[in-house]
Amino acid sequence: MDKRRESLFVPYVKAVVVEEDGSGVSNTLSNSLPMLAMFTRNSMLAWTSLVVATQSYIAQKPAAAQSSSQPAWMKVLLSVFAIVVSYIGQSIRSSRENINAIGTHTATTSA
């Protein structure tokens, strides 16, 4: 004979499984790589950040898009800005060199 009271029985309820999107590392990289690329003006990091942000945008689920604080298209836009910033320094340097070359060329021909 079972001496346990039936009023204390707790019925089994299957636990709800919460799906994790597994994009923690991807979100961290797509947020930090563009800023690092702009800070260091490294074009390779900028292009890598664009690839990671695009992958994050493509792999984003609709439920995650509504719950996230920053939309994935903003990460892609930030990566594009990182590419622009990384190449601005190179274009300014090359234009200064061209101006200096023109200035020395005119100074030597007029003298």
Supply the pLDDT for residue 22: 57
Q: Which two tokens stand for residue 54?
A: 């695009």
Could you report the per-residue pLDDT of 13-71, keeping only the tens digit for each?
998 887 665 567 777 888 888 999 989 988 999 999 999 999 888 888 777 666 667 78
Could you report the per-residue pLDDT of 82-103, keeping only the tens digit for each?
999 999 877 777 777 777 777 6
Q: Which pTM does this prediction carry?
A: 0.63
Alpha carbons 92 and 47: distance in angstroms, whole number: 20
Residue 93 CB coordination number (10 Å): 10
Report in angstroms the alpha-carbon separations of 38 from 53, 75, 76. 15, 14, 14
Do the Cβ atoms of 24 and 64 come closer than 8 Å? no
